Structure 1
């Protein structure tokens, strides 16, 4: 049900990749959102409104919010599923609110770095409105061009922040502290167990950490991007592969970013292709643009393929 891998130790470029795993397609759309947009937290009667400070390229899910993206300062953010049994969002307390489906967009619109985002993390209250009758638990991964990283989890009514370059992998439940404790059972992280091979969140976390540890130094940016895409493919879930419960949550798409050069990458698992959007080429766009990332013919630089559009959320 999703994995994120950050490569911030190579000397070429800070790169990241994530996959989206779910029972059905989240009907992704890829947007360019310029600075200067009036936005809402879409939460409740206390919803925050803001004007975006930064342009971003983002992936939306079900036309209801942003699940992944990169802004023009090289800050990237990713929402991954966290079991609602593990999640407890803050109760109403007078702070302006932002729905969890808008959390990624709020962070990208208003911050340039991970440190800046974490410094303001308590200015808003994150809420979890029901979607199609379901409560969707999420946690957030952030990273920036410097290689700084943070993982934010809404637990026991507060936002628990793990901030530091060492937080390079995130999966789903259990919470990050338990994932890290489990990781120490495996080599070369303190234990003697070999890397596991199941599709569970815990196994994906260990396997991601293991192969990231051994990635060789890239010779160029292309290899730095390809490296994280190779790793995210290793922990992606093939169509039809069941969990022990019998439930099937395949990988529908993978996204990545070169944070150093501000390039956003996307690949549907219904296509063998990868395409990308170059944010610097959109600096003067000044309008909302969109493309369908599920088009199997897309390959290479698709910046010019973005078309003017009306934002749906």
Structure 2
């Protein structure tokens, strides 16, 4: 279970951010994939080639699998769990056949804009093959944004792919994205300001102070509530002046939906928690990763040296002394 959003700063630069909420320890770290890289695929023997270099959170599992990131063209993407996914049972002749856990690699390696994505994705066939780490066919949907602020959600159900423009800049998990948009109609009363006084017979009720406009904002950890909460905070959070301030603001927005260990228990007794938060600066492009155990943010910038490298490069997550004693 995860939460994602887009964001624009005062310089009109766009960002994509996400929480990675999962029970199984994914063990990802920042990874740069250079230009013109070949990926093997679990769907066929052919694999696929990329044009663009990119950076994101991933892991080497007999080949790198990334779950979010940004490419050199300023396209950012994130994969989120989506139980309603239905994928093709067999590869298709003439199609780009890839597994669900490989879609993000293909997008970041081959797409230069949202318009380019809409044109090219019709050639992609997502095949129902298991992921080698999780041992299941991973049900996913994807949020994609480019440096202009354009954003879409990709969902595949009943063997058909739907690419939906994302007017609110938010995505969580099930149900489908269109349902979340309709559900926003139930929360038109939310406001960052105080509610005005209201008469009840001869009695006048007054709010108990600042924050009354947000009464009714859901606070639980379901995907439905996280969508509403993120849409509200994204709408009204201050506009950051630059990239450093934007990453700080995004961190505070995602604080509202971060899941601490132990508070969201699954049916099997395991629990989801926010393993990390990822921030993608689409204009630069730069990837930031902030893990659960140490809130230090690791920053990786795509440079020409990395983009023209011969092989992927992993970066360790930075850590720091958490508490400085002041005498």
Equivalent position of 1:5 in the other structure: 5
Q: How big is the shift at 1:187?
A: 3.0
Q: How big is the shift at 1:41?
A: 3.1
Q: Highest CA radius of gyration, 1 or 2? A: 2
CA distance in structure 2 between the aligned counterparts of 1:250 and 1:272, rounded to whole angstroms: 14
Q: How does 1:234-313 map to 2 (within 5 A)?
A: 234-243=256-265, 245=267, 247-280=270-303, 282=305, 285-297=308-320
Evaluate the alpha carbon distance shift between residue 247 and residue 178 of structure 1 in structure 2; reply closer, same or farther with a 3 A threshold. farther
CA distance in structure 2 between the aligned counterparts of 1:287 and 1:74, rounded to whole angstroms: 22
Equivalent position of 2:183 in the other structure: 182
Evaluate the alpha carbon distance shift between residue 243 and residue 200 of structure 1 in structure 2; reply closer, same or farther with a 3 A threshold. farther
Evaluate the alpha carbon distance shift between residue 281 and residue 227 of structure 1 in structure 2; reply closer, same or farther with a 3 A threshold. farther
Evaluate the alpha carbon distance shift between residue 243 and residue 175 of structure 1 in structure 2; reply closer, same or farther with a 3 A threshold. farther
Where does the alignment leave 5 or more consecutive residues of structure 1 unmatched? 300-313
Matched-pair contact (CA < 8 Å) for 2:53–2:307: no
* TM-score using structure 1 length: 0.85
Equivalent position of 2:119 in the other structure: 119
Higher mean C-alpha deviation, range 16-25 or range 124-133: 124-133
Evaluate the alpha carbon distance shift between residue 74 and residue 158 of structure 1 in structure 2; reply closer, same or farther with a 3 A threshold. same
Equivalent position of 1:55 in the other structure: 53
Matched-pair contact (CA < 8 Å) for 2:74–2:112: yes
Q: How big is the shift at 1:137?
A: 0.1
Instruction: Tell me, yes or no, if structure 1 residue 214 matches structure 2 residue 236.
Output: yes
Q: How big is the shift at 1:7?
A: 0.9
Higher mean C-alpha deviation, range 217-226 or range 103-112: 217-226
Equivalent position of 2:248 in the other structure: 226
Q: How big is the shift at 1:216?
A: 1.6
CA distance in structure 1 between the aligned counterparts of 2:107 and 2:237, rounded to whole angstroms: 30
SS of the counterpart of 1:184?
Answer: helix
Higher mean C-alpha deviation, range 287-296 or range 21-30: 287-296
Equivalent position of 2:88 in the other structure: 90
Matched-pair contact (CA < 8 Å) for 1:12–1:221: no
Equivalent position of 2:205 in the other structure: none
Equivalent position of 2:217 in the other structure: 195
SS of the counterpart of 2:296?
Answer: coil
Among 156, 162, 169, the alignment partner of 1:154 is 156
* TM-score using structure 2 length: 0.82
Where does the alignment leave 5 or more consecutive residues of structure 2 unmatched? 192-213, 323-327
SS of the counterpart of 1:224?
Answer: helix
SS of the counterpart of 1:54?
Answer: coil
Deviations 1:7-48 (A, max 9, x none): 147544201210111112101032111112222333135x54
Report how many residues are paired.
294
Q: How big is the shift at 1:172?
A: 0.8
Matched-pair contact (CA < 8 Å) for 1:187–1:193: no
Q: How does 1:164-183 map to 2 (within 5 A)?
A: 164=166, 166-183=167-184
CA distance in structure 2 between the aligned counterparts of 1:22 and 1:56, rounded to whole angstroms: 24
CA distance in structure 2 between the aligned counterparts of 1:48 and 1:40, rounded to whole angstroms: 4
Q: How big is the shift at 1:120?
A: 0.9
Higher mean C-alpha deviation, range 223-232 or range 192-201: 192-201
SS of the counterpart of 1:273?
Answer: coil
Q: How does 1:26-65 map to 2 (within 5 A)?
A: 26-45=26-45, 47-50=46-49, 52-61=50-59, 63=61, 65=65
